[in-house]
Amino acid sequence: MHPSLFDAARTCLDAATPEAKVSATFAAAEAFARGELSIPDDAPPPKPIGMPGRPQRPRLVHPRELPKRGLGTDEGRAAFVHAIAHIEFNAIDLAWDAVYRFRGLPQAFHADWVGVAHDEARHFMLLRERLRELGFDYGDFDAHNGLWEMAEKTAHDGLARMALVPRVLEARGLDVTPGMIVKLRSLGDDATADILEVILREEVAHVAAGSRWFRWYCERAGVEPGPRFRELLAEYARAVLYGPFNFEARSAAGFDDEELEALRRFDVA
């Protein structure tokens, strides 16, 4: 009897240090790829959602409390890299929570989100290494908890989770990263820009997985994806949805013409 994928996902969620979370993620993803983790039909229900394991630092504050820093100084650039690293660290937990929480689904669903968790852990490591090259480390700057708060709001509903975490919050990275890459290259920071190029390319596939499974959930529930997405945006995401949007990347990530047109109506930039 193989160990359960759900138990492995829970171990990754509970890991409290960056080192432990990354190593547990790599181990679980590799074990899953080798067929060593089962997806039992009779697993007990998932535990109620709570804060995943995380280090004491960074300190979590309201986004308004985070100082605005330019990219022109080493500390400003380090703060920027730290903010992206924190997003990637949270994204590891978001992927594992999808694996752990939503059950009775095709194996391909779990395979997609295990793969995403593995990618996010790798992205975190790249960014942490860059942060150390700049003379800092993960935890040296304050951060916010917006990504995980959306996970909590959607813990009851896989359809809403797929709509709002990959297709709203993570898709935001598709919108803003190209401009950041241009800015970093203009400042001569090709090392950070190169990492963001890798992340941007791979995040398109992550958002595409969200699109795929959002539509799968809609089909299973007998609801139209377009109107349902707009309803969820209005209910949960009005405050976090603003332009400019990267329509080309969003199209590649599974947004259809109707959805892109809906986003154009949100685009006030």
Q: Provide the angle, in degrees to the nearest 10, between the axes of the packed helices 18-33 and 107-133.
A: 140
> Which domains does the chain show, CATH number per domain?
5-40+65-266 (1.20.1260)
Q: In this predicted model, what pLDDT tens digit does every residue of 20-70 receive, in sequence order?
A: 999 999 999 999 999 999 888 877 888 888 888 888 888 777 777 777 777
Judge whether 16 and 53 are in contact, CB under 8 Å.
yes
Strand partners, 38: 4
Judge whether 51 and 152 are in contact, CB under 8 Å.
no
| pLDDT score of 266 | 62
Concatenated DSSP letters for 119-133?
HHHHHHHHHHHHHHH
Average pLDDT value for the chain: 89
pTM of the predicted protein model: 0.92
| pLDDT score of 268 | 45
Q: In this predicted model, what pLDDT tens digit does every residue of 178-187 receive, in sequence order?
A: 999 999 999 9
CA distance 51 to 18: 15
Q: In this predicted model, what pLDDT tens digit does every residue of 136-158 receive, in sequence order?
A: 999 998 888 777 888 889 999 99
Judge whether 210 and 163 are in contact, CB under 8 Å.
yes
